[in-house]
Structure 1
Amino acid sequence: EEIRECVTYHIKAARLLNAPTTFRLLNHPGKNVGAQQFGVAETPDQNEHEAMTIMSKVHPSGVTPLTFHIKEIHSAVSLMADDLVAMGRKVVIVIATDGLPTDEFGVS
């Protein structure tokens, strides 16, 4: 519940500040819950409704493939690096997890 409250806070802050923010869940929440990755304020028509809906339904489960996701995020940010520097922008990466990093089999 603590992680959900933290992410919900950041969803609201991103909307209020109009700060483009991408949220990525370590494990896919299932098609009935929503997307594994979702954003707030990334496009003009994007609001926090979808993000809040996903967070109200998602529950922690499964392994903690943290290393995989950090590498994916690094790759994505690296592709944006030149544009970010040119615009004088920065990237903040916040990691919230309730488990130790594991591989795809659950081994720490």
Structure 2
Amino acid sequence: MKVLLIGAVLSAQIFPAMANENCAICLAAMHNSKTLECGHKFHPSCIGDWLARNVNCPICRDTDITAMMEEIGKLVHESQNPNLTPEQAQEILDRLKLLQEQLQINMQ
């Protein structure tokens, strides 16, 4: 994943027009996109996966608080599923703790 991300960032810097047409995470053409507060666009699923583990834009490293809050809301909704396995519940809890830590770092 890191190799693809580095390639995507370099490609976006070298070929700016490409950055507007392709997702900087998976490098595939974008037919639908999610725009972060910084203005960078990605496939919704790509940036959703990214923001589940990171709070910053993969291109400019700007913190997208709105996306973090959306992720927290999604996790809270998932946590209310009565059919969660203990492993799924632990994964949700771990992701919420990570987001909390990242929020605290960005508030300092």
TM-score category by the smaller chain? 0.3 to 0.5
Structure with more helix by fraction: 2
